[in-house]
Amino acid sequence: MVPKQGMIVEVENLSVGYEGNVVLEKITFTVPAGAIFGILGGSGVGKSTLLKHMIGLYPPLCGEVKIFGRSIVNCPETEKYRLMRRFGVTYQGGALFSSMTVGENVALPLETYTNLNKSEIARRVQEKLALVDLQGAANVMPAELSGGMKKRAGLARAMALDPKLLFFDEPSAGLDPITSVELDELLLRLRAQFGTTIVIVTHELASIFGITDTVILLDKQAKTIVAEGDPRKLRDHSPSLWVHDFLNRQGYDHAPANQE
């Protein structure tokens, strides 16, 4: 099935929450091929919750998510897992297995989902580590890595199966400004080199304006999208004072989300 009008991700009327608590209601948006797409909002608004529902970790309260034109909500489990192999995910902190070396972490998806022999897996592990500037780190334990190196190792693992779509949950969280810029540059390089579509959850304004093409801005009170588009245009020209203040890092919390 061909994605609608070249869209890699399609979210339609999606409502998400836990134990009867609705976090977001009737969310609709699309992510075009080759875009770096940002999911923005204040703390506790539901950015990571939305991401987890988009990648199939949790069933939504209602609505649809299609990836590569196929539903990840209404499909058999076997089809769901096949679809999940086609995209990569990096979590906050890298989420590396602490008892495994960096190389073993990167090799895990290859060992689990392919029939490659050990030498070919080892070659691909080195290839992915070089891609994220971690040459020579295959035998290093995660505890020996800096925060930025853990993020890059997590990215190498997410890239192991050569996905055309990557999801990132707060990739710059806890990093110093220089390391954050280096990570942003790496994402831009991946997009340029491989045509990778990237969905990124973030609240870092430098990353938002530095790498994203399109963003959605979520509001906790409204429980939905209150702005969508080029973040630079929203920052400079949005008719909403709330949106303007948020993207200019001003005191937006006092302003009603649905008011100009």
**pLDDT one digit per residue (tens) for the chain, 260 residues:** 444 668 999 999 999 998 778 999 999 999 999 999 999 998 889 999 999 999 999 999 999 999 999 999 998 989 988 898 899 999 876 688 999 999 999 999 999 989 999 999 999 999 999 999 899 899 999 999 998 899 899 999 999 999 999 999 988 777 788 888 888 998 999 999 999 999 999 888 888 999 999 999 999 999 999 999 999 999 999 999 989 999 987 654 444 444 44
Q: What is the pLDDT of residue 4?
A: 63
Q: What is the DSSP string of 136-150?
A: T-TT--GGGS-HHHH
Residue pair 120/84 in contact by the 8 Å Cβ criterion: no
Q: 73-80: list long-range contacts, CB under 8 Å, 24+ apart.
A: 80/56
Q: What is the pLDDT of residue 42?
A: 86
CATH of region 1-86+197-250, choose from 3.40.50.1000, 3.40.50.300, 3.40.50.620, 3.90.79.10: 3.40.50.300
Tell me the domain boundaries of the chain.
1-86+197-250
Identity at 152, one-letter amino acid code: R
Residue indicated by tokens 């009603």: 256
SS3 state at 152: helix
